[in-house]
Amino acid sequence: MTARWIRPVRRMDWILLLAVLALLVTGVLFIFSASTRSVDLPLYKKQIGWALAGLACFLGLLYADYYRLRDAAWWLYGTSLLLLVLVLVPGIGRKVYGAYRWLSLLGLQFQPSELAKLATIIALARFMSRPGREMNAAGNIGGAVMIVLPPVLLIAAEPDLSTASVLLLTAIVMLYIAGLPMPLLGLATLTGLLAVGLLLGLLFWAPAWLPLSDYQKERILVFLDPGRDPLNHGWNAVQSALAVGSGGLTGKGFLKGTQDVLGYLPRTVAPTDFIFSVIAEEVGFVGSAVLLSLYAVVLSAGLRAAAAARDKLGRLLAAGLTGMLFCHVFINIAMTIGLMPIMGIPLPLMSYGGSFMISTMAALGLAQSVYVRRYT
Amino acid sequence: MAWRELWNDELIRLRLLLIVMLAALGLLAVNLWRMQVARGALYQHNLGEQSIRRVRTAGARGRILARDGALLADNKPSYQVVLYLEELRQPGRGWTRTLRKVETVLQDISRLLERPSHLTADDIQNHIRARLPLPLVAWRNIDETARARLAERASTWRGVDVVAVPLRTYPAGTLAAHVLGYVSRANPPPDDETAARYYEPDVAGKEGIERRYDDELRGQAGEKVVIVDVSGFRYRQHLPAILERFRPREAVPGRDVILTLDTNVQARVEQALGTQPGAAVVVDPANGDVLAMASAPSFDPNEIAAGLPPELWQALVNDPRQPLLPRALAGQYAPGSTFKPVTALAALESGRSTPEVTYACPGYFMLGRARFNCWENLAGHGVQNLHQALQHSCNVYFFNLGLRCGPEAIHAMAIQFGFGHQTGIDLGREMSGLVPDDAWKRRVQHDGWRDGDTCNMAIGQGALLVTPLQMAMFAAALANGGSVFQPRLVAGVRDPVSGVTRTVPPRLLHTLAVDPARLRVVREGLRAVVNTSTGSGKKAALDNIVVAGKTGTAEHGAKGAGQKWTWMIAFVPYERPRYALAMLVEEGVSGGSTVAPLVHDVLYDLLAKPALLQGEG
């Protein structure tokens, strides 16, 4: 009996857990550093709570047999769609910075889009893992697209284009693993590039036709030309780059970063979307490289789980969840160092935030659930 | 076919995905290297630019000392009430609430100090816009009582502080005020002078030595750096990560200026002058050192340095008695009879007269139909030789002498003594006086030179103008046997850091081209002026010490109006002169009756009294 309880823990990827714990601790430390000026309840204490809740979630899903999700997949998917609709209803959804992204449930605030990401991945994995559903038949591909599109469009309507694009990219990763023919994948890539080209073209020649809000347009323009509006729309991008660049090789030292202390990095974003700027300023290139290595460990472990999965459902689940985490890590760091336009994408395991912490840890737990149930 | 199968293998696809992900993370690492290591210095510089403000700080102003070491200008702490706006900052966008808070605090302090606040809303707004990291000065020069009152409340009053700043003071009060000059707040330095965007108010010399030696006294401004947060407020904690790239520069204190003035002589001369408009200069005939230079009435440079209210400043500037005018070197007066030694030497050197030549004085002199009176115009002086004419200051003798040697000779001799030109004293505002000649008269009065002009010039009247300083240097040249010095006011400049003093040597301009025997005749005449019962300057005589001198009474203004400039020049002791002086009282009765007693008082205190005390000892 005892062995049955110990078995999942013994079979799990311990290097992954160590990397995750290291990232969580680092995250809490630098949220502390980034919010020393804050007069509110100390954010780092809250984050410790979220990290513990996330760990519990991780362990819970580790023990739960992911195969049972097959039955719950459509319920989860349906519920998340319902919540995504509810959040758009004024009076029910909470408006923050001009977008309806939050729901209040039993006194807790959470973002339905976080649940929707997981639910969509699960539903898609289930759909594509059914025997005989090869992803080279038009009907099957169409079915997968029909599963992905509703949550993507609903999230885009909040509006939260960043999360919507993450979900879209994750779905493409899953389609790819599921065996989407390479010509079709190439076509999808080409379509994506064309869409970006069209977007930029419209932005410059006919901005009025572009279905984007002004701040979204500005963010893209500022990305293309950082000096365009340094005191307003370009502020965060410029200040984040200053923070990262001034970190130098070894950084200014823990709690010795100045960009956040002096308020140049706004205190609303420093502990959340721009936590990496705070870290890079204080630990420099050496610390940033260590951080990237830890993420490399986490992502490799995810794909390792996918490779070791006993069935296609597990493989697609692990690959999809890892793909989602990768999108977050890459986009977030790329935007803080000026490689991508500013987007509201938090950094997994580091950025302050409850919903995202839970969904990240759940994703990792689910992937490990696949890993511990491998054959060998 | 083989390729297709390769792609169809899910494990291959996973491996490819892993490679793509790791490559993407590698791309991030490469970019981080480029930003943080390759271009890190640039980012660090730019970060400093936005969060560092350089504040210009003034160096401590150098002191001014007398030759005897007495402090004439110094710095003392003055207390200011300042507000730190960052501590009064109110939440909310914009400045309206903070501005209102600042005004409330100002009103509270104003009630406590019982002094109105001079700050307007505009002043506060300007401060917020331009100098936010610096404290806002609300009251300057607050006194002991006010400080005590504030101290009681200091602990409860957030954002209010009393700070000490250097204030220029003149410990000797009004002593040598015209020489020292004064300071007032300097204009902000031009933007391109320094990288500092902010400056702390500095003082600049506006008159006298303070102005002339401003560069030496002022020292070099330093720079301190202030870290500011995103709203422009000063960040008080130490942030070494930013500061290490911006080393502050220490301010260098200004140099001390050591004057040739002797405070004892200066004080005595000022006491003699009192407040009646006049001037006096005492020099050392051996080297041209200015031992005292006084102008009356005077002013208190302390009041100006502390900041006079505009209405009081205007009153000072517009005072008809001109207390700000340094009469000793900027006042121009006809020398009257004190000029007669020039005429005498000109006549002797021209070879057209000798000391033995006599003229009879009936009390007047007829030039054609014009009558020139001798000052003793009732009885006349009778028959006079040069010695007697100097002793009695007989105008008629000098009319004759002037006509005999001609105006060119008098003009040349006056120029030799330094009249008609600035003496070159190291102080601003010096006037050159005027020694008229034919060319000058044609140019200015559109008329040729006449004998009447020669007569006037021979007795130091007409268009002739001199400064009291020129007269003192003239007296010095008579005293030392013909050496014309440039007056030396600054003896040296001392660097307070290294202790090294750069001395300014005395400067001999030239030696008079005058036969010593002829000069002796004139000197003997001047001795008789003071030391005979009929001498015009006998009131300046001392008991045991021989004084030589010449009095003068110059009429000015409308003819017969009775306005007189009264003079005396003197040197003493006669054989080995230590002092040469010139004294002028603008509205005296005559040189002999008004100025000679004053000269006596000064010389008595300087020479006779110490000798007396020494004798008793």
The reported pLDDT for the residue numbered B192 is: 39
Which chain B residues touch A182 with a CB distance below 8 Å?
Answer: 7
**Inside any domain, residue A343:** yes
User: Searching chain A, which residue's CA lies closest to the CA of residue B228?
Assistant: A262
As a whole number, mean pLDDT of residues A300-308 equals 94
As a whole number, mean pLDDT of residues B544-572 equals 90
As a whole number, mean pLDDT of residues A333-341 equals 91
Which chain B residues touch A263 with a CB distance below 8 Å?
Answer: 229-231
Choice among A129-143, B239-253, B473-487, B500-514 with the minimum mean pLDDT: B239-253
Mutate which: B47, B49, B225, vs A, most A CBs within 10 A: B47
Residue A263 to residue B230, Cβ atoms within 8 A? yes
The reported pLDDT for the residue numbered A252 is: 86
pLDDT, tens digit (0-9, with 9 covering 90-100), for B5-20: 556 688 889 999 999 9
Residue A248 to residue B241, Cβ atoms within 8 A? no
As a whole number, mean pLDDT of residues A146-175 equals 91
Choice among A15-29, B68-82, B502-516, B552-566 with the minimum mean pLDDT: B552-566
Answer yes or no: is pLDDT of B561 > 60: yes
Best CA proximity match to B32, nearest among A89, A334, A223: A334
Which chain B residues touch A303 with a CB distance below 8 Å?
Answer: 14, 17-18, 21
Delineate the domains of chain B, giving CATH numbers in brackets.
35-70+172-252 (3.90.1310), 83-169 (no CATH), 263-301+327-616 (3.40.710.10)
Query: B233 vs B286, which has greater pLDDT?
Result: B286
The reported pLDDT for the residue numbered B154 is: 64
Residue A242 to residue B50, Cβ atoms within 8 A? yes
Best CA proximity match to A116, nearest among A166, A68, A71: A166
pLDDT, tens digit (0-9, with 9 covering 90-100), for A228-252: 666 667 788 888 888 999 888 998 8
Answer yes or no: is pLDDT of B46 > 90: no
Angle between helices B96-113 and B121-130 in degrees, nearest 10: 120
Three-state SS at B74: strand
Residue B35 to residue A244, Cβ atoms within 8 A? yes
- Give the minimum alpha-carbon distance from A266 to chain B in angstroms, rounded to a whole number: 9
**Inside any domain, residue A5:** no
Structural domain for A19, as ranges: 13-372
Residue B32 to residue A337, Cβ atoms within 8 A? yes
Residue B230 to residue A329, Cβ atoms within 8 A? no
- Give the minimum alpha-carbon distance from B264 to chain A in angstroms, rounded to a whole number: 60
As a whole number, mean pLDDT of residues A296-309 equals 95
As a whole number, mean pLDDT of residues B528-538 equals 93
- Give the minimum alpha-carbon distance from A106 to chain B in angstroms, rounded to a whole number: 32
**Inside any domain, residue A7:** no
Number of domains observed in the structure of chain A: 1
CB A4 within 8 A of CB A368: no
Residue A245 to residue B231, Cβ atoms within 8 A? no
Answer yes or no: is pLDDT of B220 > 90: no
- The mean predicted confidence, pLDDT, of chain B is 88
Which chain B residues touch A243 with a CB distance below 8 Å?
Answer: 47
pLDDT, tens digit (0-9, with 9 covering 90-100), for A103-112: 877 667 788 9
At B327, the pLDDT band (50, 70, 90 cuts) reads very high
The reported pLDDT for the residue numbered B193 is: 41
What tokens appear for B111 in the block? 């009630």
Cα–Cα distances (Å) from B505 to B209, B257, B488, B502, B523, in that order, read 18, 14, 8, 10, 28
pLDDT, tens digit (0-9, with 9 covering 90-100), for A317-335: 999 999 999 999 999 999 9
User: Searching chain A, which residue's CA lies closest to the CA of residue B35?
Assistant: A245
The reported pLDDT for the residue numbered B80 is: 84
Q: Residue B75 contacts by C-beta under 8 Å, 6 or more apart in sequence?
A: B60, B61, B63, B166, B167, B168, B169
Residue B241 to residue A288, Cβ atoms within 8 A? no
As a whole number, mean pLDDT of residues B391-419 equals 95
As a whole number, mean pLDDT of residues B231-258 equals 75
Query: B488 vs B306, which has greater pLDDT?
Result: B488
**Inside any domain, residue A4:** no
Beta-carbon count within 10 A of A142 CB: 9
The reported pLDDT for the residue numbered B191 is: 46
The reported pLDDT for the residue numbered A227 is: 64
Residue B43 to residue A244, Cβ atoms within 8 A? yes
- Give the minimum alpha-carbon distance from B58 to chain A in angstroms, rounded to a whole number: 28
pLDDT, tens digit (0-9, with 9 covering 90-100), for B493-509: 999 889 899 999 999 99
End-to-end CA distance of chain B: 133
The reported pLDDT for the residue numbered B194 is: 41
Reported as half-sphere exposure (CB side, CA atoms, 13 A), residue A203 has a value of 19
Which chain B residues touch A264 with a CB distance below 8 Å?
Answer: 50-51, 229-230
What tokens appear for A276 in the block? 């990496």
In whole angstroms, what is the distance from residue B411 CA to residue B343 CA? 9
DSSP structure string for B522-548: HHHHHHHHHHSTT-TTGGG--SSS--E
Best CA proximity match to A147, nearest among A176, A173, A126, A169: A126
The reported pLDDT for the residue numbered A376 is: 66
Beta strands B563-572 and B501-503, pairing class: unpaired
Residue A248 to residue B37, Cβ atoms within 8 A? yes
Choice among A91-95, B175-179, B269-273 with the minimum mean pLDDT: A91-95
Residue A262 to residue B44, Cβ atoms within 8 A? no
Q: Residue A75 contacts by C-beta under 8 Å, 6 or more apart in sequence?
A: none
Answer yes or no: is pLDDT of A1 > 70: no
Q: Which residues of B touch A (CB under 8 A)?
A: 7-8, 10-11, 13-14, 17-18, 21-22, 24-25, 27-29, 31-33, 35-37, 39-44, 46-47, 50-51, 227-231, 235, 239-242
The reported pLDDT for the residue numbered A294 is: 97
DSSP structure string for B200-223: ---EEE-SHHHHHTHHHHH-B-EE
At B73, the pLDDT band (50, 70, 90 cuts) reads very high
At B196, the pLDDT band (50, 70, 90 cuts) reads very low
CB B329 within 8 A of CB B429: yes
| Residue A176 CB burial class (10 angstroms; 0-12, 13-18, ≥19) | buried
Per DSSP, which regions of chain A are E strands? 93-96, 99-105, 108-110
**Inside any domain, residue A35:** yes
User: Searching chain A, which residue's CA lies closest to the CA of residue B10?
Assistant: A177
Which chain B residues touch A284 with a CB distance below 8 Å?
Answer: 36
The reported pLDDT for the residue numbered B195 is: 42
Per-residue buried b or exposed e for B312-339, using 16+ beta carbons within 10 Å of the residue's own CB: eeeebeeeeebbbbbbbbbbbbbbbbbb
The reported pLDDT for the residue numbered B307 is: 81
At A287, the pLDDT band (50, 70, 90 cuts) reads very high
As a whole number, mean pLDDT of residues A289-300 equals 97
At B240, the pLDDT band (50, 70, 90 cuts) reads low
Residue A258 to residue B47, Cβ atoms within 8 A? yes
At B522, the pLDDT band (50, 70, 90 cuts) reads very high
Residue whose pair of structure tokens reads 């010593």 in the numeric block: B516
pLDDT, tens digit (0-9, with 9 covering 90-100), for B101-143: 888 888 888 888 888 888 888 888 888 877 777 788 888 888 8
What tokens appear for B244 in the block? 């290490």
Q: How many residues in total does chain B contain?
A: 617
**Inside any domain, residue A204:** yes
Cis status of the peptide bond prior to B573, with omega within 30 of 0: yes
The reported pLDDT for the residue numbered B229 is: 72
How big is the CA angle at B48 (ends B43 and B52), to the nearest 5 degrees?
Answer: 165
Query: A266 vs B301, which has greater pLDDT?
Result: B301
Query: B555 vs A329, which has greater pLDDT?
Result: A329
User: Searching chain A, which residue's CA lies closest to the CA of residue B245?
Assistant: A246
CB B471 within 8 A of CB B334: no
Residue A280 to residue B36, Cβ atoms within 8 A? yes
Helices (H), B172-309: 177-180, 208-212, 214-218, 240-243, 263-273, 301-306
Answer yes or no: is pLDDT of B380 > 80: yes
The reported pLDDT for the residue numbered B257 is: 96
Residue A330 to residue B28, Cβ atoms within 8 A? yes
Q: What are phi and psi of A350, to 5 degrees?
A: -120, -50
Q: How many residues in total does chain A contain?
A: 376
The reported pLDDT for the residue numbered B200 is: 61
Best CA proximity match to A152, nearest among A138, A137, A172: A172
Name the percent of chain A lying above pLDDT 70.
Answer: 94
**Inside any domain, residue A21:** yes
- The mean predicted confidence, pLDDT, of chain A is 87
Cis status of the peptide bond prior to B362, with omega within 30 of 0: no
User: Searching chain B, which residue's CA lies closest to the CA of residue A306?
Assistant: B14
- Give the minimum alpha-carbon distance from A243 to chain B in angstroms, rounded to a whole number: 8
Best CA proximity match to B14, nearest among A263, A250, A316, A24: A316
